[in-house]
Structure 1
């Protein structure tokens, strides 16, 4: 496993994946019927942004225990995005291909968040490193 020093939250692989989710969610909610379903649109956008925000906030929380707590919030927000995607699919706002792409992105992010959380639990003193080569099945 290659270890890399994390100097800022932007270095965290899970945060990078969360950023991609937010970009894609905003892209698909920008037009068509999805854009007019204000309730669902706002909820899925907020949940997507929450993934990024919780990872970033956890990074500056000061302890691994707190960081792990915020990673848990990020994980739950990713699951919330996935649940909203089903509603969007069922309502015809997303086709199966877009749904599959977004669902796979959120699954990848959840795996990265979970892996990072496990790493922090098992290395309580090693705040500044993250496994970069987590081989996690999607």
Structure 2
């Protein structure tokens, strides 16, 4: 399957790009690096998984992508608490990570 046709990959890539744009002016480079890395990990692992040969390998990378979403959601909550992230945008990101996680569970179960 071509990963670029998957809605879950498209949405994850848009989320990652949005996080990069919204955090580009943060001076806390450690936080910015961590949140952008976990966001970037999601579509990257979907792409890598869907190009693997065996169903076991595909499921493994989809599981990693789901774990990265949990990491990202945690960082968003912390970013809100410490005043780094705008609450309205962050609430959208949290909802998006929850929906993407459900989509990845469905994808993993279908493999």
Q: TM-score, normalised by structure 1?
A: 0.77
Match of 2:23 among 24, 29, 40: 29
- Matched with 1:18 is 12
Residue ranges of structure 2 left out of the alignment (5+ in a row): none
- Once superposed, what is the RMSD of the aligned Cα atoms? 1.0
- Matched with 2:78 is 87
Q: More displaced, 93-102 or 67-76?
A: 93-102
Are residue 109 (structure 1) and residue 103 (structure 2) matched? no
SS at match of 1:36: coil
Give CA deviations for 1:59-84 in whole Å, capped at 9, x if unaligned.
Answer: 11101111000000000001100000
Q: TM-score, normalised by structure 2?
A: 0.94
Q: Which structure ranks higher in relative contact order (CA pairs < 8 Å, sequence separation ≥ 6)?
A: 1
More helix per residue: 1 or 2? 2
Q: Could you tell me how far apart the structure 2 residues matched to 1:115 and 1:75 are?
A: 11
More strand per residue: 1 or 2? 1
Residue ranges of structure 1 left out of the alignment (5+ in a row): 1-5, 121-138
How many pairs were matched up? 111
Deviation of 1:95 after TM superposition, in Å, equals 2.5
